[in-house]
Each structure stands twice: as structure tokens, then as C-alpha cells.
Structure 1
Amino acid sequence: MLVKEIMKRQVFTLRKNNSIADAIKLFKEHHIRHIPVVNKSQHVIGIISDRDVRDASPSVLDKEVDQSLFNQSIDNIMTSPVITTHPSEYFEDVAAIFYEKEIACLPVTNKKLVGIITEKDMLYTFIQLTGTHSPSTQIEIKVPDRVGVLSDVSNLFSRRRIKIVSVYTYPSPNQSEYKIVSISNSNNESTYYNERHRKDRV
């Protein structure tokens, strides 16, 4: 799955000379948490989060609030340079960026800003890929980590007429020579098989 299939194409942006008050208004109006900062050519030059705004704003406990603080330009608090991704990047590669860089948002650029992808978008996509968004039963099978094993698993399910909704694998804990194949199948099929053959071996 590619970034262009899951990114949001409507992106709310600001210029670096916009004020903190402008950012607060945009956050509240559109219920968003991140705003890319662009120049006149729509090139991303920074990004601002709702947390950046909270940190820069006066405390609600202050008896006298200096309103001039809200008139500061956002280039004083924006993050720059910005990590970005491309519309043709793979979901798996972007997931690694989110994890390694510990970020919550990625602007999507193709020379200029064309979209945005958030950690919520990533989680929703993962749910779709694993099939947990639809009624299904999960089956986990321990298999040797060798070439052709997925074909063997697929043939096993085909012989039993079990419809596969999604498949993913992960390393078997403490057994590097094995993997766990996690399979979602239609909830109304092969209940007996699902209950009796969990963590089976192929």
C-alpha cells in the first residue's frame, strides 16, 4: 500500500509570518493537531503542533496574561527542517520512519506539499491490513522460517475451504528458526478448525 492511497489531501497550512493566534484558530476550527508551514511555492519549510502552541502560550493559571505573546510569529516555535515522505513511498517504510523518528505526522511532498499522513492514519491502515476492521477469526500457526512455507499454509487453507481475509507474520519468541503466521478468516467459516488448530505447525 502506498502513501498516496492513505494520505489526507486536504491540508491546512500557515506561512511563517502567521501568528500563534492564527495557529490556535486553525487548530480549533478544523480539529487538527499538526499544521505544515509553507512558503509561497508551497514548499514545506516547517511544521507546528498543538503542543508547540501550548508550550508557547501563557499558562491559564496566570492572573495577568500578556496577550502580545499570541501575536508572535510561528517561525519562532515551528520545527525546521521537516521530515517528509513521497506519495509513492510504501506504507511499511513510512511506518519505520514514524517509529524510528518518534514523530506523529509526516507532510507528503512531490516537490511541493500534496498531502499529510498522521499516526492515526497509520493505525487505521494497519487495522485494515490485518483484517481486524471486519468480523473475523484469528488463527496463528507456527511455521519453519523457510522458502515456500506460505504456499504450504495457503494450500492447507484452500483444501479446508477457509476464506483468508488477511495474513501477516512475526518472529516466533525465542525460536529464531520459526515464524508465526497470523491469519484472519471469515468469522462464519470453519469454527471447529479455528478452535482446535491454533498455533499449529506446518
Structure 2
Amino acid sequence: MQVRDYMITKVFTIKPESTVRELLHILHSNRIGGVPVVDDRGNLTGMVSDGDVLRYLAPKRLGVAGLIYMIEDGEIEDVIQEKLDTQVHTIMTRRNLLSVPPDEDFESTLQLLSRHHYKKLPVVNGAGRVIGVLSRGDLIHNVMEKVYSS
């Protein structure tokens, strides 16, 4: 079994210059937890998740400095509204980015996902373009289908 047998081919992506507001719309309207960040040619440049958004939007409590931040910037709702206009490249993960080719062995991909605790793994072709996504939930679903159909 290979990654191509389990990957999602209807991939939602976002550009690095898109806003956090646009990202939230994609995540919410498609009921997903993260997307690959791609350039104009569809090449993988990063990953961004709902967790990245929450960490970015959460107020920073840094003692007195944190209090000054909140007082100067106003109410939390105002701060969040401003942060929604931030570009995705500011919050995306770009270091230690993992991806797999579509012909990667299923077993080694399972080990990769479990070792790094990733929820989603982009599937990238030889040209570097994102052609699919592999999520833990979809893998579990497919494994269960195979187990119960046998």
C-alpha cells in the first residue's frame, strides 16, 4: 500500500500573502484543521493549522508588558480584529516541514506521522507541487474500513 491509496486529493491550500481571516474562512467552511501553504505554482512553502491561529490570536500575558499590551491595544476583540488582517506567512510553519511523495510506503508514513505528532502531512509530487494531503483521521478511517471489510 502506498500514500496515493489513502491521500485526500481535494486539497484546500492558501497562499502566504493571504490573511488569517481568509484562512479561518477556509478552515471553518470546509470543516478542516489545517492546510498547506503554497506559492503561485502550487509548491509547498509551509503548513498552517487551527492551532497556529489560536496561538497567534491568544493574548500574550508577559507580566507588566502584557498588561501594557492589552491597555494600549484596547479590548481583546479589537486586538483579534487587527490580527485577522495578518498575512499567513507570519504564523505558518516553515521549518522542519515534512511531506511525502505519493508512492511512499504506507507503513513508513504511519511511522512518520506518529513520530512527529502531525495531524496532516502534505503529499508532494516530484516537481514539488502539493497534490494531496494525508490526515490522521482519514488514515484511521481507511484502516478501519479495511479491517472490517476483511
Q: What TM-score comes out, normalization by structure 2 length?
A: 0.81
Alignment of 1:94-113 (within 5 A): 94-110=109-125, 111=127, 112-113=129-130
The structure where helix makes up a greater share of residues is 2
Deviation at residue 58 of structure 1 after TM alignment: 4.9
- Find the aligned partners of 1:103 and 1:94 in 2 and give their Cα distance: 11
Supply the AA of the counterpart residue of 2:16: K
Q: What TM-score comes out, normalization by structure 1 length?
A: 0.61
The structure where strand makes up a greater share of residues is 1
* Identical pairs, percent: 24
Alignment of 1:43-192 (within 5 A): 43-58=43-58, 64-66=77-79, 67-81=81-95, 82-110=97-125, 111=127, 112-129=129-146, 131=147, 133-134=148-149, 165=150
- Find the aligned partners of 2:47 and 2:104 in 1 and give their Cα distance: 20
What is the number of residues matched between the two proteins?
131
Contact 1:4 1:88 in 2 (8 A): yes
Unaligned runs of at least 5 residues, structure 2:
60-74
Which of structure 1's runs of 4+ aligned residues deviate more than 6 A?
A: none
- Find the aligned partners of 1:63 and 1:126 in 2 and give their Cα distance: 43
- Partner SS state of residue 72, structure 1: coil
Map Cα deviations across residues 133-180 of structure 1 (whole Å, 9 max, x no partner).
34xxxxxxxxxxxxxxxxxxxxxxxxxxxxxx3xxxxxxxxxxxxxxx
Counterpart in 2 of 1:41?
41
Select the structure with the greater relative contact order (CA < 8 A; seq sep ≥ 6): 2
Counterpart in 1 of 2:69?
none
- Find the aligned partners of 1:63 and 1:47 in 2 and give their Cα distance: 26
Deviation at residue 45 of structure 1 after TM alignment: 0.4
Alignment of 1:18-37 (within 5 A): 18-37=18-37
